[in-house]
Amino acid sequence: MAVFVLDKRKRPLMPCSEKRARLLLERGRARVHRLVPFTIRLVDRTVEESVVQPVRIRIDPGSKTTSRNPGRKTAIDTGKRRGVTRRPKKQRRQEFT
């Protein structure tokens, strides 16, 4: 999964791997900014000092949830699909007929 990264002025940088984020946190170069979605904030870097590539957001319409992914298979923001809530109601109606 990708971990979102912010610079010391809270501007977005390139996402990194979980392992790199863990190492940055252990070495004191980053702080946890948010837990959901998990985001770290670098202490010693700004956007001007970094190389930032364009990142595209993919929408994955799954069968039960929909998630927005930053170019990789990571569940960043999930929402329930409408069909999931309607299916049990439909089954209850069919039991009466």
Each residue's pLDDT tens digit, 9-47: 999 999 999 999 999 999 999 999 999 889 999 999 998
Distance CA 77, CA 44 (A): 28
Buried b (16+ CB within 10 A) or exposed e, 1-36: ebbbbbbeeeeebebbeeeebeebeeeeebeeeeee
Please state, as a whole number, how many other Cβ atoms lie within 10 Å of the Cβ of residue 40.
22
Distance CA 67, CA 10 (A): 24
Instruction: Report which of residues 76 and 88 the model is more confident about.
Output: 88
The pair of structure tokens assigned to 30 is 């980053």
pLDDT band at residue 85 under the 50/70/90 scheme: low
pLDDT band at residue 82 under the 50/70/90 scheme: low
pLDDT at 34: 92
